[in-house]
Amino acid sequence: MKVAAIQMVSASNPDANLQTAHRLLQQAKAEGANLAVLPEYWSIMGLRDTDKIAFAEEPGNGVLQNFLKQIAQELQMAIIGGTIPLKSGDSSKIYNACLAFDRHGSQIARYDKIHLFGFINGEESYQESNTIQEGNDIVSFDSEIGKIGLGVCYDLRFPELFRNMGPCSLIVLPAAFTYTTGQAHWEILLRARAIENQCYVLASAQGGTHDSGRRTWGHSMLIDPWGKIINCLDEGEGVVSADLDVDVMQKIRTNLPALKHRRFTC
């Protein structure tokens, strides 16, 4: 099975982002991908944190959800739609929602980001809890290669989230890591999650300087269950694609049955 991570440098104009996402998803399909993942905030990286609230959709209906459904049908490819803003019970906050669609355009999973990023470093400051309602449910779904687990960006720092999914064949992580934190921690955390869960990790990132001046780290990548980086795109928009080999994963789990050796559960 071939999978692809879409890397974008999303703008404050959703229409332009839709066009870019469409083009890059077509490229992923042309490269033979059966599943593609868009990054966090692929549809809008606003000039202000509150900008995304204006584009929040009711669950099940809206321009962004319809786009994901239709492009999955058009390309006959499973799509994990990074994150889009969905309405919450609080008009000042949205759910940062990751939606998965099968190749027929049917929604098969929804994950609302659980861990909300907070960071202060001089003039660089982020507080997602001001505009995002945290989710509560751990989400995974079955696929032809086994269970696929969903996380978003800051979730990467919380290994217990992924442990509570049970054994997965693939962990998918759409993200918009800042340049500061990404440079320090992105790769090592991704490789750690792959190694400790003995599964593939597919990370789809924002990677460049946005309208607001914010710079994201990029480095979308696919990592194998031994922690090896199979493919990576450092910066700028593009597609990272590669094949998953479930037999390789099973061999690693047989040779080093660490998952069976666990003595404590979350």
Please give the backbone phi and psi of residue 194, each rounded to the nearest 5 degrees, phi first. -65, -45
Query: For residues 233, 234, 236 and 238, what is the CA-based torsion angle, rounded to 10 degrees?
Result: 0
Is 89 in a helix, a strand, or coil? coil
- The C-alpha atoms of residue 134 and residue 196 are separated, in whole angstroms, by 26
Choosing from 40, 57, 235, 237, the catalytic residue is 40
Count CB-CB contacts under 10 A for residue 59: 14
Choosing from 69, 93, 98, 153, the catalytic residue is 153
User: Is residue 113 flagged as an active site residue?
Assistant: yes
Choosing from 93, 98, 113, 168, the catalytic residue is 113
- The C-alpha atoms of residue 55 and residue 50 are separated, in whole angstroms, by 10
User: Is residue 153 flagged as an active site residue?
Assistant: yes
Contact 135, 112 (CB under 8 A): yes
Taking phi first (over 0 means left), then psi (-120 to 50 degrees means alpha), and beta for anything else, what does residue 166 get?
left
User: Is residue 235 flagged as an active site residue?
Assistant: no
Please list the active-site residues: 40, 113, 153
